[in-house]
Chains A and B, each alone.
Chain A
Amino acid sequence: MDIAVTGLAAISAAGVGIEPLRETVAQRQCRLTPVPVEVLGEDGYLWGKADGFRAADFMPPLKARKFDRCSLLATVAAGMALADAGIDPKGGDPTRIGIALGCGFGGIANSVEFLGGYFSRGVEGLVPMLFPNTVANAAASNASIEHGLKGPNVTQVQRFCSAEAAIQMACRFLEEGRADVMLAGGVDELTPLMMAGFQAVGQLRTYARSFSEGCGILVLERRDHAERRAARLRGRITGLRTVGMLPAGREQETVDRLMPPAAPALVSLSGIAADITALIAPLPAVPTLESGNLIGRSLAMGGLALASLLLVLPEGARGLHLAASPEGPYHAIDVTGGMRA
């Protein structure tokens, strides 16, 4: 596999754009903030809200109103990623540009508002405009409509590996020739009601500590395609591996299936990968980067985590991105660092 990463975009608790994310990761600054006590009825928790993101900075308020927050994050990030890659979809064949996003929770605030209207006021409380954005693919679809991307369009919800699952599909679509350019990554929003839900199922003290929101998108191309248009390489994806489970008694075999062909210079850990001893034990001497500790975690934060790795990995250096969910699945992505500016 030789897939070029020719563009990056990030909206996170670190700020809007890749520079704030690069600075946060390079300096290991924690951008998490305390969850207000009124959200959970108790304090002592952190979250990673993308408070620096204002849709009005990117589009007229009337236009922004038709999107849910997830779609806003994805639509704006997709535009940033295309600009970073120097691609204007209107300047070429839009059917050759697609989008694959992971989206853990979808536009859940929008769904709650729609259902809340019905539960409180019956059919009179239904707002038809809200319903289309209740589907999990709304973010990727709205981004494709806004930017005129007519290539493959897909959304994956696969626990903490949602973005990695989408990136895997995007790479395959490129290799097969289904598209020349794929925007791939993940997006999630975070609301107080979601935090209440995590609290209710006991996840604030386990996997979902320091939950967050944001969007990370990579622009992917076959390397020959990127070189033909003299694109700047922000990095390369050279391998992808995944397994569904760590079955009892065969953990080592599972981990072996995920390990890279050569030792990396830096390992990025996403989801709950840092919590799985068997997964990180084979790489004891390799420095690790867990962007979740800096900007927070969510189901589809793999796009931001992978962008973080590429932003600090020296040109030509090997990196490994490991993502894991409770009870699986597990993803490993081999990358090579590219030009930083």
Chain B
Amino acid sequence: MDKTRIAITGLGIFCAAGKDLASFTDALLHGRCGIGPVDLFDVSPFPSHIGAQVRDYSPLDYFDRADARRLSRTDQFAAVAAAEALGMSGAREHYDPFTVGICVGAGASGMIHGEAWLRDRLAGGKGRPGDLRCILPDRTTTALAERFGLWGYQGSITTACSSSATAIGWGADLIATGQLDACLCGGSDTLSILTYAGFNSLRVVDPEPCSPFSLGRQGISLGEGAAFVVLEREETARSRGARIYGRVLGYALAGEAHHMTAPEPSGSEAARVMRAALDNAGVSAGEIGWVNAHGTGTPLNDVVESKAMKLVFGADVQHVPLVSTKGMTGHCLGAAGSIEIVATVTALGAGIIPRTLNFRGSDPECDLDYCHDGPRESSATVALSNSFAFGGNVTSVVIGR
């Protein structure tokens, strides 16, 4: 039996590189970096003072006072991006709301609010109860379901940096199996002291804007943002006249079972999940035009992902660019996967391969084509998006134009 084709009929994004799809697309086409100073909390004690913070953000530009107070920063970013995706799609208005679900990938979620409560408690205060209301990632899911009237499945996937990529793959599964007609899938995550201090304590944050795959890179630039897609069966989307922006052709997820923070060094486990995603999509390696890398900019991860590429693409690997968009968006942790999938869909639709920003020189251990020289025109119709996380939680998603 033919595999059910899953169409993407809506896209929404809100991050440092662009506060909507149009401005994000412009940043992608022109290679604009969203990384700059962080002032959301005091970063002066840390070696790094930068990140991809959403600047000039005022909740009251998007929400009334009650929602601005009730929703966490993470929930607000999610609501803005989800509204754009749902508005573009029109799926919510077309289907029985019991058959429209939501699946959110999350990371630190509303931790910045929980941190305020904890700091007050540790100082002998009582803490503001409202700060605890939204610290769990499922709050974002429920808030969106309530806000947009999605009565079907609710799921919140928390596999750290691969969360939202997995959420999109799982949403496609729910539609393919007939459990849903449409699914709002994606992720949202915002900067917090926990993650900023945490990655700095591990010494994997670059004091300069992250420079994936290039010489002298020192690590990640943390970021924040949200991105969502609306998925439907392609056949149904066509019959209702919806515009199709791309397709989720397949995905795979696995545990490397190697180490909590370090990737399996040969790249064989990452290669295994990439191959499994291709198998699930029914796509050969030769059909992949380029790969949206996990590409964090850490010295180890970039080398291992490059090794994995060689295992998957063999002698043809130099003809398959491995591109990281994290130089533009920062590493948005729980939202990283969905932001990169939106970037992949957008780039495939625009007929380009994005640029890997902030090149500092060639690293002999990263010897593939990383598109450091600029966005380039491409007729590619299929791309792969990698998301690799703490715990060895690896997910790859195959995206079609």
A→B interface (CB under 8 Å): 94-95, 98-99, 103-106, 111-112, 114-116, 118-120, 122-123, 126-128, 131-138, 140-142, 144-145, 147-159, 162, 165, 169, 172, 176, 178, 193, 196-197, 200-202, 242-245, 247, 253-254, 257, 299, 327-329
A95 and B392 contact, CB distance less than 8 A: no
A138 and B260 contact, CB distance less than 8 A: yes
Which residues of chain A are near B254, meaning CB under 8 Å? 95, 98, 150-153
A144 and B154 contact, CB distance less than 8 A: no
Which residues of chain A are near B98, meaning CB under 8 Å? 243, 253-254, 257
B257 and A126 contact, CB distance less than 8 A: no
Contact of B137 among A116, A136, A142 (CB under 8 A): A136
**Cβ of B57 < 8 Å from any Cβ of A?**
no
The verdict on A95 contacting B272 (CB below 8 Å), with A115-B194, A172-B173 known, is yes
**Cβ of B261 < 8 Å from any Cβ of A?**
yes
**Cβ of B101 < 8 Å from any Cβ of A?**
yes
B157 and A156 contact, CB distance less than 8 A: yes
CA distance A254 to B252 in the complex (A): 32
Which residues of chain B are near A135, meaning CB under 8 Å? 107, 158, 160, 389-391
CA distance A105 to B247 in the complex (A): 34
B255 and A114 contact, CB distance less than 8 A: no
Which chain B residues (255-270) contact chain A, with CB distance < 8 Å? 255-261, 269
CA distance A156 to B166 in the complex (A): 11
Contact of A150 among B138, B154, B269 (CB under 8 A): B269
For the complex with contacts A114-B197, A135-B158, A243-B151, 19 further pairs of A-B residues with Cβ separation under 8 Å are A112-B118, A123-B197, A126-B197, A132-B260, A132-B261, A132-B390, A135-B107, A135-B391, A137-B389, A144-B255, A151-B254, A153-B393, A154-B170, A157-B106, A201-B132, A243-B153, A244-B102, A245-B151, A299-B136
A245 and B132 contact, CB distance less than 8 A: no
Mask, B185-200, CB within 8 Å of A = 1, is 0000000011001111
B194 and A242 contact, CB distance less than 8 A: no
Most chain A CB neighbours (cut-off 10 Å) among B118, B127, B194, B197:
B197
Least CB distance from A59 to B in Å reads 16
Mask, B106-131, CB within 8 Å of A = 1, is 11000000010111011000110100
Least CB distance from A161 to B in Å reads 8
CA distance A244 to B154 in the complex (A): 5
The verdict on A103 contacting B158 (CB below 8 Å), with A157-B138, A172-B177 known, is yes
Chain B interface size, as a band, is: 35 or more
Most chain A CB neighbours (cut-off 10 Å) among B129, B252, B260, B390:
B260
In the assembled complex, 12 residue pairs joining A and B whose CB atoms fall closer than 8 Å, in A order, are A126-B200, A126-B201, A128-B203, A131-B199, A131-B201, A132-B261, A137-B159, A141-B260, A147-B257, A151-B255, A154-B157, A178-B252
A148 and B160 contact, CB distance less than 8 A: no
| The 3 A-B residue pairs with the shortest CB-CB distance in the complex, in nearest-first order | A141-B391, A153-B255, A131-B198
Most chain B CB neighbours (cut-off 10 Å) among A105, A134, A135, A178:
A135
**Cβ of B141 < 8 Å from any Cβ of A?**
yes
Which residues of chain A are near B256, meaning CB under 8 Å? 150
Which residues of chain A are near B136, meaning CB under 8 Å? 104-105, 157, 159, 299
Contact of B145 among A157, A193, A200, A328 (CB under 8 A): A328
B158 and A137 contact, CB distance less than 8 A: yes
CA distance A159 to B141 in the complex (A): 10
**Cβ of B62 < 8 Å from any Cβ of A?**
no
**Cβ of B253 < 8 Å from any Cβ of A?**
yes
B45 and A155 contact, CB distance less than 8 A: no
Contact of A243 among B152, B166, B198, B202 (CB under 8 A): B152
CA distance A215 to B98 in the complex (A): 31
Contact of A137 among B126, B141, B145, B160 (CB under 8 A): B160
CA distance A232 to B134 in the complex (A): 43
The verdict on A201 contacting B390 (CB below 8 Å), with A165-B155, A196-B121, A329-B153 known, is no
CA distance A165 to B103 in the complex (A): 11
Which chain B residues (375-396) contact chain A, with CB distance < 8 Å? 389-393
The verdict on A148 contacting B132 (CB below 8 Å), with A111-B194, A244-B154 known, is no
Which residues of chain B are near A142, meaning CB under 8 Å? 260, 391
Which residues of chain A are near B393, meaning CB under 8 Å? 137, 141, 153-154
**Cβ of B146 < 8 Å from any Cβ of A?**
yes
**Cβ of B150 < 8 Å from any Cβ of A?**
yes
